[in-house]
A and B are shown apart, each in its own frame.
Chain A
């Protein structure tokens, strides 16, 4: 059976990895792998995966990236977006310390050192039902822990780049990035996922983010992976008291893209503003799954996710807001808006609220439709041609999300990237 072959292959990858990385806790890695073998990859029979099939990604025997997969000449690889002097760079899954620059206040640790030094387990059983977590726990082979100390303001954003370039084998990447923001600090972090445009690879990223009391984090994930790539990115955000997080998710690349975002508003007065834009064409598939846990009183969360779909592309949004019984005075808003630019594009949208407290303000909504014909006529009646009218409307639709990015330069870059895509 193919599935057994798959598991056999992945186990061999794990064995090789543990030989290469003697510091990685082998026992926990194996426990996580066994748990993964039990769950298997999700199937469309699973409630959360009804509209997103990952069966294609199981057809290949992906292997982990080896040091020899690093291109011998890195000089042609651009890691500088021109917006910030601070960056952390991974090329084909390998951390590049000599290409990475951080402000002196920020500490950075190799992932295994981070776990071992702090006597932390790599396997957190609360996620034992999440196959991509289990796979990442067993197989993570790269990633860094980035620590922002208390009362520290970092003026310029920190850009974390995952660059995939110049290989021919079917390679998988299992990076795990830990971001800890202390109390009273402020920082902007961007995770950028890019790859040469015809490379086939599978990347299963995981980002674990903790934001301390009264801290502010501007977080962005920008996904521009190869159109042949499978991109899974799970993001977990834990917020303490009076922390403020703005989190944006932009997806324009990859054949299959899944953002699984799990946020916990643990401390009173925490505020989360989450937004996302996925633009898909041809046979791309873009999936956003977001769960926001309101665990404390007086917290607020907003979510606005949009999809622009053309060709035969598909989009999935599943958003849940779960308000615990202690989380009085919760203010939670969730919205999903989608434009279908072709008759063959499909969107499945499922916003949900689960409320166990009685004194809350919650709202959710979802709209999907073609472009507004009246708006197109209005613009044409002012002399804009059909293409200009549609472009302007799409710019406007996307602009509502892009404007939520606080950094002007990043806004400009993302606007340009979205605009360059074919309608």
Chain B
């Protein structure tokens, strides 16, 4: 299936604008993706026609809102091939999902001396929640190292695995340098040692096919806003027996079965973990994002992105002094780079003046930056709606910026 990129671009209103007098080139898709019009319309349609609180009301609006909300849950279930919708917990984002697992699974299962394995590629949000619960429980965090290319050292991983490891928490794809981790193999190895695995799918959900059953994932987390959906919605998938055995997270409405002053019984999955009125509008609009991706096919989108990655890598390699950080053989369309003698922030400021949006800094992965001995990098991250012409504009602006700075 060949994609009609100009037709696709017309679906994303934000792309059609000038920034500082130049056409916007949006290469910050790993931070957040843009939204198709169908998602924006779903949001405004909900507020204009269906707004009601869900699950409790018996009036028409409450019923429409509840149906649409639960339909999203079903679509998510299909999107990641979960066995059942009630294993799809709706949260505020990947960070919210990871904290939920840390504070419930972690609280119930970690004890003194237990190990939690994370990797050197992790985003701060897949480090700090584990540090918090580890400190509380006396558990120990150990780190799977990465090599010069930004590839996880699987031998070191094998050596770190033993019976004291209760959980392995790794990202599917590195946000800073794009490495795709061999999670199928990593999960198998962890399970062989009796450890559970949490996959941070924030950076893979929009690009790679996810089948939580085929991969035998215990917990999988992602954010809607990195899947062309709204901000403020996240997903946590978990295996049924794990979710059922975990204590509730936050207390409040919706998560209860019966409340008395003597005690409270908790609701069933998934509501046990969904206290309070959820982010109804944004959840409903996520449905439109999933439909959008399904209609185009994830595989076709990823093929387009890899072509962009190959072209950008080739073009950037012609710039003197430019070094790409992260050269794993399996990568999504993310390029992190530094330029000899130039601070990333200076490039970010000047590229913005040319209308080009990239990310500069530590990308919330300070331990990884430390590993490479860098204060930060420049990161260009592509989505299927980006074009080869945009890469040309970017490279031209980058050369001009380097000239200004040298």
Tell whether A pairs with B.
Answer: no
Binding site for B on A (CB under 8 A): none
